[in-house]
Amino acid sequence: MILQKHDILNLDRQYRVHLINHLSGVKGAHLIGTRSADGISNLAIFNSVCHVGANPASMGFLLRPLTVERNTYSNIMENGAFTINHISLQYIRDAHQSSAKFPKDVSEFDHLNFTEEYFSDFYAPFVKESHISIGLTFEEELKIALNGTIFMVGQIDFIKVKDEFLEETGHLSFGPQNSIGVSGLDTYYELNRIARESYAKAPK
Amino acid sequence: MILQKHDILNLDRQYRVHLINHLSGVKGAHLIGTRSADGISNLAIFNSVCHVGANPASMGFLLRPLTVERNTYSNIMENGAFTINHISLQYIRDAHQSSAKFPKDVSEFDHLNFTEEYFSDFYAPFVKESHISIGLTFEEELKIALNGTIFMVGQIDFIKVKDEFLEETGHLSFGPQNSIGVSGLDTYYELNRIARESYAKAPK
């Protein structure tokens, strides 16, 4: 099937949202942990975490437009700290449930099977059940003019990795026991490694 | 293992690059197709394609800093058109090979097992072998001050989807026959659907 712009505009609204949300395919699903100035911790699932750079070590993620209150955004703006936590297969349902609209004075940690954990003086909560977690300090935000979506960038301060997933080369081994994927906002995927390729060289 | 900022800075350079590149986990791997003003087509693999919005229908991806010539970037700037093409399992090696530095006057389509395909008057090439492809028109670029990485945004003009992967609801079914994942720049993953969750509601 080939759809052009006018076909897309004429699709049933819900059908179009599903289709467009799924076009980018499967991405990693992560829980982002933050904490308000009042000390209320927050946990929310995101599907847009990206590598930004190795030096300075940095990562980013997309945040929906600020047309409603976004605790993740306001907490990061209050104190600059956030964590990115991988999700293992057994926690899909709890992770998905973090997408519900919990009131701002309620911590998702009190309602889901996740435990908050703190390291050193880092302000944001890590998810104890995650085998791969990263603590970051907010660096910058970039606003997409088209629809107000925000790309948030942070520098990496902390890496928590269970030793068994860290290879001698620095590569991480992903699988159902430590990381899952998601397409759109609702469909979850298991990830199984199939190949590692060497650095590609152009033909002579 | 817990690494703090000074530990990360002291890691062996190559080890650090692998580790930081892998922290974001598995993301979809896509081939981005473009064509220069001279008509030379280009194909390159990316691991950072994201959903931006359903209305206007838009997607984005991260482009490494412009410290070396980036054909994908310069082609998009010349004529605004690019395609995002999913990769099926059998094409991993060819897709990976597109990351090699081909000369600007050489088309990757001439050296890899991919066929360029054009629709209507859309300037950028689609990958015939992809079962899910999107044609986009450049909308805006956002430059990350920290390291010069660029987030490119485009509006969706064309969707090419093989009917068997399009569900009645507008969801797409992903699997080895139409889409793969990648962690870092070298490790490829098979994606298998395990659950679809309904819209999450907060506790009363």
Structure tokens at A20: 């467009």
Residue of chain A whose Cα is closest to the Cα of B156: A5
Predicted-complex ipTM score: 0.96
Q: Contact B146/A134, CB-based, under 8 Å?
A: no
Q: Is A164 on the interface with B (CB under 8 A)?
A: no
* Bridge partners (DSSP) listed for residue B116: B127
Q: Supply the pLDDT for residue A67.
A: 81
Percent with pLDDT over 90 in chain A? 92
DSSP state of B121: T
- The mean pLDDT value of chain B amounts to 95
Query: Judged by CB atoms within 8 Å, which residues 48-87 of A form the interface with B?
Result: 48-60, 62, 84, 86
Instruction: Compute the distance between CA of residue A122 and CA of residue A90 in angstroms, rounded to an integer.
Output: 27
Span B174-199, mean pLDDT?
Answer: 95
- Rounded to a whole number of angstroms, the distance from the CA of A78 to the nearest CA of chain B is 21
| Chain segment A120-154, per-residue pLDDT in tens | 999 999 999 999 999 999 999 999 999 999 999 99
Q: Which helix (H) or strand (E) holds B63?
A: strand B57-63
- Please name the member of B1, B147, B172 whose beta carbon is closest to the beta carbon of A58: B147
| Chain segment B64-110, per-residue pLDDT in tens | 988 878 899 999 999 999 999 999 999 999 999 999 999 889 999 99
B interface mutation test: which of A26, A167, A174 has the most B CBs within 10 A?
A26
Q: Contact A191/B190, CB-based, under 8 Å?
A: yes
For residue B155, list chain A residues with Cβ-Cβ distance below 8 A: 146
Per-position b or e across A51-83, b if 16+ CB within 10 A of its CB? bbbbeebbbbbbbbeeeeebbbbebbeeebbbb
pLDDT at B203 over 80: no
Q: Contact B1/A161, CB-based, under 8 Å?
A: yes
pLDDT at A204 over 80: no
**Exposed (0-12), middle (13-18) or buried (19+): which is B203, by Cβ within 10 Å?**
exposed
Q: Contact A189/B174, CB-based, under 8 Å?
A: yes
Strands (E), B128-178: 132-143, 150-161
pLDDT at A77 over 80: yes
Q: Is B153 on the interface with A (CB under 8 A)?
A: yes
Structure tokens at A9: 């505009």
| Chain segment B115-157, per-residue pLDDT in tens | 999 999 999 999 999 999 999 999 999 999 999 999 999 999 9
Q: Supply the pLDDT for residue A186.
A: 94
pLDDT at B200 over 80: yes
| Chain segment A7-26, per-residue pLDDT in tens | 999 999 999 999 999 999 99
| Chain segment A99-117, per-residue pLDDT in tens | 999 988 999 999 999 999 9
- Rounded to a whole number of angstroms, the distance from the CA of A37 to the nearest CA of chain B is 23
Instruction: Compute the distance between CA of residue B203 and CA of residue A88 in angstroms, rounded to an integer.
Output: 23
Q: Contact A92/B179, CB-based, under 8 Å?
A: no
- Please name the member of A59, A163, A192 whose beta carbon is closest to the beta carbon of B24: A59
- Please name the member of A1, A50, A192 whose beta carbon is closest to the beta carbon of B48: A50
